């Protein structure tokens, strides 16, 4: 399902000659998704907010007492309301993240697959990877022994709808197998990535094909030596490979195989492929680990995915429940 990809807001430049949104993609959801409307989280937020109010009261009381005992007029203390509010939000977010996820299943059959997969993982004595989507945890096991225990980011289970198409982002439960491993993997964004960016920034979506992709002013987009450029007044100018291609309020999807359709660093430094586009990989978006933030892949911290890359051979079974 691809990188797994809370993305920061992307600043889109709509210059006539210019291009596009920077490809900072994949951290967007982490903070908002973790703060669910669960009673435990709401209580935690109320507790932190109450603590902040008491702190403000205490500051005011101490300040008043100081003025009463002083024989000279002291300047009133300046309280930084923004800093206090930020502190409260950070504390509330920390508590929300530490709260155990509530078990959620997509359907009755999904829950049955989860139970069967977990029982199969427990019966196995081989080296295996086991993932709990509800707990957002991964274990590498050999027989009854735990070799690695690591938090992971899992799918959002959300649906993206754009221009008559829809994509549902889930990490599937069940038995899988490590079919390949790769160092320094490069992400090839699927079409949903471009649809997601276009929807977020109210852009149309255009697909580049072979030959010329005409623009409104008579210039055109063209691929030469696997790189996308714009031809204007007979001159070919390469476009930046780390930006989306935007002209005429349209986000153009570069052809598969072009340099512009490759994003380095988004999958971290190591990757395990379990087939069907479902990967275990690192991420530059460290805050997303432990949350529901991906489009289907499993994200891990750098040290954890490196351990799996070094220690888990191709052919290892993966149990996701």
Instruction: Answer yes or no: do 60 and 196 share one domain.
Output: no
What tens digit of pLDDT does each residue of 155-208 get? 999 999 999 999 999 999 999 999 999 999 999 999 999 999 999 999 999 999
- Tell me, yes or no, if the pTM score tops 0.75: no
Of 46, 81, 98, the last residue of a domain is: 98
Evaluate if residue 296 carries a pLDDT over 70.
yes
Alpha helices in 124-246 (DSSP H): 191-200
What's the mean pLDDT in 205-217? 91
Task: Give the domain CATH number at 256.
Answer: 2.40.440.10
Please report the pLDDT score of residue 100 as a whole number: 52
Helix ranges (H only) for 161-317 are 191-200, 302-311
Would the pLDDT of 64 be above 50? no
Using CA atoms, how far apart are residues 35 and 45, in angstroms rounded to an integer?
10
Q: Does one domain contain both 313 and 186?
A: yes
pLDDT at 186: 95
Indicate if the pLDDT at residue 304 is higher than 70: yes
- Asked if residue 312 has pLDDT above 90, the reply is yes
Cβ(220)–Cβ(228) below 8 Å: no
- Does residue 116 belong to any structural domain of this protein? no
Residue 113 within any structural domain of the chain: no
d(CA 173, CA 168): 15
Distance CA 3, CA 185 (A): 11
| 217 & 253 share domain | yes
Q: Are residues 75 and 173 in the same domain?
A: no
- Is the residue at 154 inside a domain? yes
Across residues 289-299, what is the average pLDDT? 96
Q: pLDDT digits over 85-142, tens only?
A: 445 544 544 444 444 555 688 899 999 999 999 999 999 999 999 999 999 999 999 9
Whether residues 196 and 67 share a domain: the answer is: no
């Amino acid at each position: 399902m691809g990188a797994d990809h809370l993305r920061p807001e992307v600043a889109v430049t709509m210059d006539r000659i210019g291009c596009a949104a920077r490809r900072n993609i994949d951290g967007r959801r982490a903070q908002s998704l973790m703060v669910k409307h669960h009673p435990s989280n709401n209580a935690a937020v109320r507790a932190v907010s109450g603590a902040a109010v008491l702190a403000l009261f205490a500051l005011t009381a101490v300040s008043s007492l100081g003025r009463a005992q002083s024989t000279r007029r002291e300047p009133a203390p300046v309280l930084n309301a923004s800093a206090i509010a930020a502190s409260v939000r950070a504390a509330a977010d920390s508590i929300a993240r530490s709260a155990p996820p509530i078990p959620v299943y997509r359907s009755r059959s999904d829950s049955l697959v989860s139970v069967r997969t977990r029982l199969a993982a427990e019966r196995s004595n081989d080296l295996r990877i086991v993932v709990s989507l509800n707990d957002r945890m991964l274990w590498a096991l050999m027989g009854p022994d735990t070799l690695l225990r690591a938090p992971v980011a899992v799918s959002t289970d959300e649906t993206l709808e754009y221009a008559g198409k829809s994509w549902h982002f889930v990490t599937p439960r069940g038995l899988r197998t490590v079919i390949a491993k790769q160092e320094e993997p490069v992400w090839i964004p699927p079409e949903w990535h471009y649809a997601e960016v276009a929807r977020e920034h109210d852009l149309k979506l255009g697909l580049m094909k072979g030959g010329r992709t005409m623009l409104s002013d008579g210039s055109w987009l063209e691929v030469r030596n696997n790189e996308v450029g714009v031809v204007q007044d007979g001159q070919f100018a390469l476009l930046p490979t780390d930006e989306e291609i935007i002209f005429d309020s349209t986000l153009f999807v570069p052809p598969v195989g072009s340099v512009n359709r490759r994003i380095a660093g988004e999958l971290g430094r190591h990757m395990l492929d379990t087939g069907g586009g479902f990967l275990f990989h690192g991420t530059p978006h460290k805050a997303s680990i432990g949350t529901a933030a991906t489009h289907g892949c499993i994200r891990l911290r750098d040290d954890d995915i490196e351990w799996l890359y070094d220690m888990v051979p191709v052919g290892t079974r993966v149990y996701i429940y």
